[in-house]
């Protein structure tokens, strides 16, 4: 026996009633009258209350009559094309709708509202995928990390990346702060076996973290070049050249199958670095009244204090010298902001992050992104295991 549950409005209607049959898993059933009532615009509405079985206690809902709701009004190809335009082409919602209509010769004309909901629908299906990517990030020996400023409703916000050359995990937050990093739940779970590559974020040096910090030399080279342009101090250009020459030499060694520099190579590198820094301090003392004085002092101090983090790659060829993997992952976020503007709120920004986690991880493993989106809109997205197995 099924008993009607009292939900929503208690207003009763006496017209357009019809029989609807609801069946529970224990095969009990009940025929009941449900009103079909006109709303304030005179449109007929079907009422479908919930029921609770008096025998097994299960809650069921009456079946929607045939013809009232289609199984899927738009197929996965149209939905995948729409999602690709929004999240891969960074086309605005209105323009994406116009493009889809144009390609289909206006035989199918999805509404702007439907186009706007495609990303939300896709994001809901990708929460487990991002959780799996997150767990995979935590298991990596070398993990790249970076974040960038985005805008939400005219306010500065943050898009953050964690990943490797095979996986990409994105998160969006209202603010670029420690609270967001803690909410991501990755850094606090890394062990002493992990090397975290980043762009000199001092937060990562907190005592409670167990991982090893390694820093991007490419950012250091930019700072050295900027100082040289402002000051003309030779030490900055010489240090940048030392980094470039050493990276090039390491690439040659790797191509030859060598696993590390010789002791002579590392000793020469250290001696040359000490020589250049000593010259840097002399130039700094000579022109310390100039406007670039503070920047030069901070740069010299940073190199001395974090030299082991900047140059770990000199002593271990398995460690990266730059954070290009993370920067490349976030570059498309900047492109989206320039092309289609800001995000409305944190929810929509994180929906974009979920879809980007999926498509970017697929791309990095040689999986066609459009095919991945088509499967996603079919309700059968690739699993992380399937994506990683497809890597060449």
pLDDT per residue over 242-251, tens digit each? 999 999 999 9
d(CA 346, CA 172): 7
Q: Are 171 and 359 in contact (CB under 8 A)?
A: no
pLDDT for residue 193: 95
* % of the chain at pLDDT higher than 90: 57
The reported pLDDT for the residue numbered 143 is 97
Rounded Cα distance between 390 and 392, Å, is 6
> Based on C-alpha coordinates, what's the Rg of the chain?
29
pLDDT at position 104 over 90: no
The answer to whether the CB of 307 falls within 8 A of the CB of 272 is no
pLDDT digits (tens, 9 = 90+) for 43-89: 555 666 666 676 777 776 666 666 555 544 678 888 899 999 988 88
What does the alpha-carbon distance between residue 373 and residue 282 come to, in Å, rounded to a whole number? 58
Crossing angle for the helix pair 76-87 and 369-377, to the nearest 10 degrees: 130
Distance CA 98, CA 112 (A): 9
Residue-averaged pLDDT of the chain: 84
Report pLDDT digits (tens) over 85-100: 988 888 888 888 888 8
Task: Judge if pTM exceeds 0.85.
Answer: no
Residue carrying the six token digits 């994406």: 96
| pLDDT the model gives residue 332 | 87
Report residue 119 as tokens.
């990303």
Mean pLDDT, to the nearest integer, of 125-134?
A: 96
**Residue range 249-285, pLDDT digits in tens:** 999 999 999 999 999 999 999 999 999 999 999 998 8
The DSSP bridge partners found for residue 144 are 163, 197
* Tens of pLDDT, residues 138-154: 999 999 999 999 888 88
Task: Name the DSSP letter for residue 124.
Answer: H
Label residue 1 by pLDDT band (50, 70, 90): very low
Q: Domains of the chain: which residue ranges?
A: 2-61, 76-124, 127-214+324-389, 217-315
Q: Which DSSP string do the residues of 141-198 spell out, in sequence order? A: SEEEEEEEEEEETTEEEEEEEEE-SS-EEEEEESSSSHHHHHHHT-GGG--TT-EEEE
Cβ pair 351, 120 in contact under 8 A: yes
Render pLDDT for 305-346 as a digit per residue (tens, 0 to 9). Answer: 999 999 999 999 999 999 999 999 998 888 888 887 788 889
β 195-198/212-215 pair status: parallel
Q: Quickly state the pLDDT bin for 289 (edges 50, 70, 90).
A: low
Least confident interval from 16-30, 188-202, 220-234, 252-266: 16-30
pLDDT of residue 306: 95
* Res 291: pLDDT: 75
Q: Is pLDDT at 13 greater than 70 in this prediction?
A: no
CATH of domain 127-214+324-389: 3.30.420
Q: Are 81 and 100 in contact (CB under 8 A)?
A: yes
Check residues 37 and 235 and name the one with the higher pLDDT: 235
Long-range contacts at 267-276 (CB < 8 A, ≥ 24 apart): 269/242, 269/311, 269/314, 272/242, 273/239, 273/242, 273/307, 273/311, 276/235, 276/238, 276/239, 276/242
Of 194, 192, 215, 203, which Cα lies nearest the Cα of 302? 215
Lookup: tokens for 145: 């990390």
């Amino acid at each position: 026996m099924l008993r009607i549950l009292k939900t929503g409005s208690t207003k009763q209607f006496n017209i357009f009633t019809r029989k609807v049959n609801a069946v529970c898993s224990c095969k009990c059933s009940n025929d009941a009258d449900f009103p079909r009532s006109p709303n304030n615009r005179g449109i007929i509405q079907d009422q479908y209350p919930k029921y609770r079985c008096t025998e097994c206690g299960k809650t069921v809902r009456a079946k929607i009559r045939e013809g009232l709701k289609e199984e899927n009004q738009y197929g996965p190809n149209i939905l995948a094309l729409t999602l690709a335009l929004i999240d891969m082409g960074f086309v605005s919602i209105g323009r994406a709708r116009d493009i889809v209509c144009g390609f289909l010769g206006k035989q199918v004309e999805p509404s702007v509202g439907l186009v706007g909901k495609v990303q939300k629908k896709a994001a809901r299906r990708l929460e487990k995928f991002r959780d799996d990517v997150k767990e995979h990030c935590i298991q990596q020996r070398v993990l790249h990390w970076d974040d960038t400023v985005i805008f939400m409703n005219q306010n500065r916000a943050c898009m953050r990346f964690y990943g490797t050359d095979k996986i990409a995990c994105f998160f969006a937050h209202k603010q670029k702060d420690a609270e967001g990093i803690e909410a991501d739940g990755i850094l606090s779970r890394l062990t002493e076996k992990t090397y975290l590559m980043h762009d000199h974020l001092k937060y990562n040096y907190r005592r409670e973290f167990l991982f090893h910090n390694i820093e991007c030399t490419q950012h250091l080279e930019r700072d050295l070049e900027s100082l040289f342009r402002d000051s003309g101090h030779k030490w900055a250009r010489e240090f940048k050249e030392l980094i470039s020459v050493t990276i090039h030499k390491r690439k040659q060694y790797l191509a030859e199958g060598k696993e590390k520099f010789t002791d002579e190579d590392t000793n020469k590198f250290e001696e040359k670095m000490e020589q250049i820094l000593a010259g840097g301090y002399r130039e700094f003392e000579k022109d310390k009244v100039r406007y670039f004085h503070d920047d030069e002092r901070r740069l010299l101090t940073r190199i001395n204090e974090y030299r082991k983090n900047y140059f770990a790659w000199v002593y271990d060829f398995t460690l990266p010298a730059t954070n290009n993997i993370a920067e490349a992952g976030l570059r498309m976020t900047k492109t989206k902001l320039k092309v289609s503007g800001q995000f409305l709120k944190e929810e929509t920004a994180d929906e974009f992050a979920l879809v980007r986690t999926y498509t970017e991880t697929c791309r990095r493993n040689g999986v066609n992104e459009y095919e991945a989106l088509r499967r996603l809109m079919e309700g059968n997205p690739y699993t992380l295991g399937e994506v990683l197995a497809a890597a060449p």
